[in-house]
Amino acid sequence: MRLAALDDDVSQLDLIQRSVRSIGYDCQLFERGQALLRELRRDSFDLLIVDWQLPDIAGPDVVRWVREHHEHAMPILFLTNRSEERDVVEGLGCGADDYMLKPIRVHELMARVKALIRRSYPKAEDSGLRFGGYAIDLAARTIHYKGQPIELKHREFELARCLFTNTGRLLSRAYLGETVWGRAVDVPSRSLDTHISSLRAKLELRPARGFRLVAVYGQGYRLEAVDPSVAEGAP
């Protein structure tokens, strides 16, 4: 999972990042709302943590922009000093999924983040997943299509897991690189494209099988579910 945190207080950002990393998630930090919005136009995140009071744009306006312009309904957690009922109502009403008061209590933050991810990405918690004719066993690290095993290398399996559990969602190249190769690894563009091409061939991702893997120029890849019944004549 890849998170983004927005707060103009560097010490708060450091605390959020350390808390999130302690439960196994990466966290990219932003001190300005406009910087986060620019990044969201080209990159992918699984959850946002947003402070209410910012120097350039109010937290609720950030949330409203995300809900209006971002196709993926990622969970959003508000962090704020505001405790009045009307503030809670406004924060949730503008599109946030949860609301947490400062000062940050580390264990509460971790619990709320895990709860939001559990509700928003239930398949990520399952050991056995099924997508049409494809069955993914996360424990055994195997993929079958209609009972027939498909041999994949380690990175190919991780890439397939990431794409299938995010079906319909545009995943940036940076997101795929960090999720599949690891945050500290610089993944050459050619390496990612080579793995995508190999995976498309091995899994035979085509409309007749109910899925197609689409490249979005300059951004990343999206696995789309399609109706095989309308794919007559598809290879």
Q: Are residues 48 and 33 in the same domain?
A: yes
Give me the residue label for tokens 């503008």. Answer: 94
Task: Specify the pLDDT at position 127.
Answer: 61
Q: Are residues 138 and 201 in the same domain?
A: yes
Whether residue 92 is contained in a domain is answered as yes
Neighbours of 20 (CB within 10 A): 21
Whether residue 113 is contained in a domain is answered as yes
Q: Are residues 101 and 130 in the same domain?
A: no
Task: Specify the pLDDT at position 184.
Answer: 43
Whether residue 22 is contained in a domain is answered as yes
Map residue 139 onto helix, strand or coil.
coil
Percent of the chain with pLDDT over 90: 63
DSSP collapsed to 3 states, 10-76: HHHHHHHHHHHHHCCCEEEEECCHHHHHHHHCCCCCCEEEEECCCCCCCHHHHHHHHHHHCCCCCCE
Whether residue 179 is contained in a domain is answered as yes
Q: Are residues 145 and 203 in the same domain?
A: yes
Look at residues 89, 120, 151 and tell me which one is the last residue of a structural domain.
Answer: 120
Identify which of 114, 91, 107 has the alpha carbon closest to the alpha carbon of residue 18: 107
Degrees, nearest 5: CA angle 150-154-159:
80
Q: Are residues 8 and 116 in the same domain?
A: yes
- Surface-to-core class of residue 22, CB atoms within 10 Å of its CB (0-12 exposed, 13-18 middle, 19+ buried): exposed
**Adjacent-strand bridge partners of 77:** 49, 98
In the chain, count H helices and then E strands: 8, 12
Q: Are residues 134 and 188 in the same domain?
A: yes
Q: Are residues 8 and 73 in the same domain?
A: yes
Task: Specify the pLDDT at position 54.
Answer: 92
- pLDDT band at residue 140 under the 50/70/90 scheme: confident
User: 156-214 pLDDT, tens per residue?
Assistant: 999 999 999 899 999 998 889 888 887 544 566 688 999 999 999 999 999 999 999 99
Percent of the chain with pLDDT over 70: 91
Look at residues 120, 153, 187 and tell me which one is the last residue of a structural domain.
Answer: 120
Q: What is the DSSP code (8-state) at residue 235?
A: -
Neighbours of 114 (CB within 10 A): 16
Task: Specify the pLDDT at position 124.
Answer: 57
Look at residues 90, 120, 150 and tell me which one is the last residue of a structural domain.
Answer: 120
Q: What is the pTM of this model?
A: 0.71
Whether residue 14 is contained in a domain is answered as yes
- pLDDT band at residue 36 under the 50/70/90 scheme: very high
Domain boundaries, position 84 = 2-120
Identify the CATH number of the domain in which residue 82 sits. Answer: 3.40.50.2300
Whether residue 235 is contained in a domain is answered as no
Domains contained in the chain, number: 2
Residues 44 and 169: beta-carbon distance below 8 Å:
yes
Q: Are residues 44 and 6 in the same domain?
A: yes
Identify the CATH number of the domain in which residue 186 sits. Answer: 1.10.10.10
Q: Are residues 115 and 171 in the same domain?
A: no
Whether residue 134 is contained in a domain is answered as yes
Cα–Cα separations (whole angstroms), residue 121 to 29, 75, 98, 183: 22, 10, 16, 21
Q: Are residues 111 and 147 in the same domain?
A: no
Whether residue 64 is contained in a domain is answered as yes
Identify which of 10, 11, 3, 63 has the alpha carbon closest to the alpha carbon of residue 33: 63
Q: Are residues 94 and 8 in the same domain?
A: yes
Q: Are residues 112 and 144 in the same domain?
A: no
